[in-house]
Amino acid sequence: MQLFIVSLWLMGSLVAEDSIDVKLRSQSVEDDGSFVTEFDSQRWLPGETAIIVCDVWDYHHCLNAVRRVGEFAPRLNKVLERARTMGVTIIHAPSDCMDAYQDHPSRRRAMQTPKAEVLPATIGSWCSIIPTEEKAVYPIDQSDGGEDDDPQEHAAWAAELESMGRNPNSPWKQQSDLITIDQQRDYLSDRGEEVWSVLSHHGIKNVVLAGVHTNMCVLGRPFGLRQMAQNGKNVVLLRDMTDTMYNPARWPYVSHFEGTRRIIDHVERYVCPTISSDQWIGGEPFRFAGDTGNREPLVGANVPAEWSVVDVPHQSSDAAHQKTPHWYRCVVRVPADWLANKVEFECQHLGARVWVNGNELAGRKLASGVTRFSVAADWVEADEANLFVIQIPQGTLEQPPVIQAGPARLKLAGRWQLKISEEVANSNMPLPSKFGASTDIVFTPR
């Protein structure tokens, strides 16, 4: 009997080595706009699985980002060691650092991999958004780049980087030494075409993304979550082996770690499922030392959406809130040549207030009943996404507003975001302008 039990244990160990049992976490939307957490158990073959390590650089311009990488990278390295022994393909992708690896066997291996017979058309490009995100309300303001350093520490850190001969704005030169690169088996590439060819060459179906930063490179790189998702890979985020660039001084004014959780929510709702490191090496999921929050979503937990997407012109059917201020926001890309003219904003609603990138505009009422607001040129970023917010004291935005710049005149109609609230802070909640603005940006020429 004892021999039989030992035999069963050995058989179970072999099965575990021959497959990877994972529990994928995602969130589905309910009819009322809330989200429900769901789990899907899958069994993967190691030979059909890859882990991509995104931008775990040796240095970063944000000191706190460096510190957080130092916290989770040793555990990520253990995940990679375990996965490697199981036969999982490991691809290291420290972007902009390939010069440091010109003669590295793992770099040569990637370069010598046969080019995939079929390459997705956009696999070499940054991906700011995919169709499933188009009506999403982006959960954090990252338009300042997301640095959360103490200003004095940041200045000292920039000086230290400069003394090392590194550019304080982009000091990375290679991957962190906390992550081991196996010269015999691993791959090194930051190019979408090469990474896709490696996946194709090995018949990879399951792709795991780890590294930094979730809201920027992990989502947007040519080898990132969005590209993998829209091109048919069974892609997942390793949610506890990542970090965001988010500054708690920006909306929604939560801790850095809660900001990361909100980005993970966004990924689970609109991009792909997630898994955690304990599914690879046991123990508990990783948690940063400074993270004292407790907001892990529960099965069946409903999380109400804060904003909704509406079409402008808009007539609200919510009679109970007609006397509560209605906030509308959208993003407008203002061409550089417009700024040579006087830019003005027109709204027909009485009592409307208007902000551009958090700056309230002064308005004057015209005889026609329209209120015209002057837009200061230094409040607008040329050829960038600019946030326009309108507060209607009571009721709805029944006529689309207009932007006037010299002879150019644009009617802002189409998808906007709406929130019914008394909070004045709603006037400055930018959508992500630097790393992919939401497509709640629809206007038609008039």
Q: Could you tell me the pLDDT band of residue 376, with boundaries at 50, 70 and 90?
A: confident
Q: Does residue 374 carry a pLDDT above 80?
A: yes
Quick check: 58 pLDDT over 60?
Answer: yes
Who's near 210: CB < 8 A, 6+ residues apart? 51, 52, 53, 54, 76, 79, 237, 238, 241, 242
Residue 52 has pLDDT above 90, yes or no: yes
Does the bond joining 201 to the residue before it have cis omega, within 30 degrees of 0?
A: no
In angstroms, how far is CA 440 from the centroid of its own chain? Answer: 16
Residue 430's nearest CA partner among 347, 338, 307, 278 is 307
Q: Could you tell me which of 387, 402, 309 has the C-alpha nearest to residue 349? A: 402
pLDDT of residue 194: 98
For CA atoms 233, 269, 136, 30, give the dihedral sign: positive
CATH superfamily of 20-281: Isochorismatase-like (3.40.50.850)
- Give tens-digit pLDDT for 278-328: 999 999 999 999 998 765 444 444 444 566 778 888 887 666 667 788 888
Nearest to 38 by CA among 46, 28, 30, 47: 28
Predicted confidence (pLDDT) per residue in 35-44, tens digit: 999 999 999 9
**Most confident among 117-131, 191-205, 329-343, 379-393 (mean pLDDT):** 191-205
Higher-confidence residue of 73 and 338: namely 73
Q: Nearest CA to 214 among 251, 257, 253?
A: 257
* CB 275 within 8 Å of CB 208: yes
pLDDT at 236: 98
In the chain, residues under CATH classification 3.40.50.850 are 20-281
Instruction: Centre a 10 Å sphere on the Cβ of residue 439 and count the other Cβ atoms it contains.
Output: 18
Produce one character per residue of 20-51: b if its CB has 16 or more CB atoms within 10 Å, e if not: bebebbbbeeeeeeebbbeeeeeebebebbbb
Rounded to the nearest angstrom, the gap between the alpha carbon of residue 49 and the centroid of all alpha carbons in its chain is 23
Selection from 157-166, 343-352, 432-441 with the highest mean pLDDT: 157-166
- Provide the 3-class DSSP secondary structure of residue 156: helix
Please say whether the beta carbons of 354 and 363 come within 8 A: yes
Determine the pLDDT at residue 317: 66
58: Cβ contacts below 8 Å, ≥ 6 apart: 172, 173, 174, 175, 176, 177
Answer yes or no: is pLDDT of 434 > 60: no
Alpha-carbon distance of 314 to 324, in angstroms, equals 16
Give the DSSP letter string of 56-123: -BS--SSHHHHHHHHHHHHHHHHHHHHHHHHT-EEEEE-TT-GGGGTT-HHHHHHHHSPPPSS--TTT
Q: What is the mean pLDDT of the chain?
A: 86
Q: Are 349 and 399 in contact (CB under 8 A)?
A: yes
Query: What pLDDT does residue 321 have?
Result: 67
Query: Quick one: 308-445 is in which CATH superfamily?
Result: Galactose-binding domain-like (2.60.120.260)
- CA 105 vs CA 122, 154, 178, 186, 204: distances in Å: 28, 36, 19, 9, 21
Residue span(s) of the chain under CATH 2.60.120.260 come to 308-445
Beta-sheet strand order (sheet of 49-54)? 35-44, 20-29, 274-275, 234-243, 206-212, 49-54, 89-93, 187-188
Q: In angstroms, what is the C-alpha Rg of the chain?
A: 25
Which pLDDT does position 380 carry in this prediction? 82
Q: What is the pLDDT of residue 430?
A: 53
Higher pLDDT, 359 or 24: 24
Q: What span, in angstroms and rounded, lies between the C-alpha atoms of 406 and 343?
A: 7
Residue 52 DSSP SS3: strand
CA–CA separation, 264 and 269 (whole Å): 9
